[in-house]
Amino acid sequence: MSESKFNSAAEGTNTKRRRKSRIMTEENAVKQQEENSNLNSEASAQADSDNTSTTTTTIDPEIAEILKFLVPASKLLNNKRSSIPYLVESLFQQSGVVTVAGSSDTGKSSFLRQLATSIILGDADFLGFKINARYNRVIYVSTEDDETNMEFLLFKQNPEVIPEEKSRKLKFIFETSNILKKIESTLRKFSIDCIIIDAFSDLFEGDMNQTNKVRSFLTKFSNLSVKYNTLFIFLHHTGKRTEDLPPSKNNLIGSQGFEAKMRLVIELRKDFSNKQIRHLCIVKGNYLPSEFKDKSYVLQFDENMRFTNLNQRVAFESLGKPSADGNNEAKVKAIAYKRQGLSLNQITERLHSEGLSLSRSTVHNWVKDISSNPTTYGYESDEPESEDNSEEDADD
């Protein structure tokens, strides 16, 4: 073989060897990186599970920084959590962002002040729902009532003076500039069960119909909730046009982004027939079964702006004002007959005698959730009794 051919063959062999060597080097580098990552992860897991270990393991600083925000599913599964931790059972979870909404003068602020005092007093329950307070501390951010007005409202709801050692655990913020900074500086020093924001629309300065801006604003509070394991409760409003509609998460004013960010949405609304009655309606509850979200909890709202649970429930569909069509007229009559104690067959026959030809199954769907009770809640007439101005109008 000539020298030139020999050199050419040798060069080709060397090129193949270099290519193969480079591929092997790259594969080894990947494998080594994976092994290093696994070793660092295992070392980190060991350090997490055994704080008393004296073994010294060198962890890549960059990986250590990443592990600060990566939560492995193994950790979540090992806790074997079978239920959501609640501040108030079946109402308010222990952490997150939730809202209590309603139209004007329904008593939303009174409702939230009563919740706050129940927590700091160490009450066993709030309106019959068990309280699981950890710290008995609440922060109340008030944008609508100043210090003087709050003195009146608190005393009105709590004529028996709260012991000072307990009343000190309810703190108010009236000056709301730099509110996030004020809240976080408090959370760094004190463990708080919940922070009540009364009201959302006064703190949010943007366009409430812009979903991205609303969600961005709420995310700041959600992040604080995660960081400090506390609950934010926002007071919000429903649209004027929705007052005659059945309770719904879609009744909230502003963009859908607000409702979507909330883990729980409660609509508090007046009863059409009885001006002392309010309906607590859970219209959204991510962690609640459906039976909590199709009927209201009937509450009495007294002259001292305090609520009492009457242990009755009313179907959401009965809380909307019927339209003027014939079927809704028949429905109103069917419900009225049911409350008088008539059976399904008697109601159907009565409607037929009045010229309203309806199937038995249709009537059944209208009245199946209506109790034979002389007390009437929900819609009763096209002209509900007008309310006079009273002290309850001082509260939102």
Identify the pLDDT of residue 285: 94
How many domains does one find in the chain?
3
Contact at 8 Å (CB) between 264 and 284? yes
Are 237 and 140 contained in the same domain?
Answer: yes
How confident is the model at residue 52, as a pLDDT? 47
Range of the domain at 360: 326-377
Q: Tell me: do 68 and 205 sit in the same domain.
A: no
296 & 369 share domain: no
| Residue finishing a domain among 55, 78, 101 | 78
Give pLDDT tens digits for 333-347. Answer: 888 888 888 888 888
Q: Do residues 314 and 343 both lie within one domain? A: no
* Shared domain check, 204 and 228: yes
Residues 26, 72 within the same domain: yes
**C-alpha span between 219 and 237 (Å, rounded):** 20
Residues 221 and 360 in one domain: no
Q: Would 338 be classed as within a structural domain?
A: yes
Angle between helices 326-339 and 344-353 (to 10 degrees): 140
pLDDT score at 46: 45
Kindly state whether residue 136 falls inside one of the protein's structural domains. Answer: yes
Pair 171, 136: CB distance under 8 Å: no
My answer on whether 38 and 183 are in the same domain is no
Tell which residue, 262, 257, 213, has the closest CA to residue 235.
262
Q: Is the residue at 103 inside a domain?
A: yes
**pLDDT per residue as tens digits for the range 140-165:** 999 999 999 999 999 999 988 889 99
Task: State residue 336's pLDDT score.
Answer: 85
Q: Is 124 exposed, middle or buried (0-12, 13-18, 19+ CB in 10 A)?
A: exposed
Please tell me the predicted confidence (pLDDT) of residue 281: 97
Q: Which of 197, 122, 131 is nearest to 167 (CA)?
A: 122
Backbone angles phi, psi at 146, to 5 degrees: -85, -175
Place of tokens 């059976």: 343
pLDDT at 394: 47
Three-state SS at 133: coil
Q: Based on the fold, state whether residues 30 and 114 are members of the same structural domain.
A: no
Which stretches of the chain score pLDDT less than 50? 5-6, 39, 43, 46, 50-54, 381-394
Apex 229 CA angle, 223 and 234, nearest 5: 65
Q: 190 and 107: one domain? A: yes
Contacts of 35 (CB under 8 A, 6+ apart): none
**Max CA separation in the chain (angstroms):** 118
The helix/strand/coil state of 143 is coil
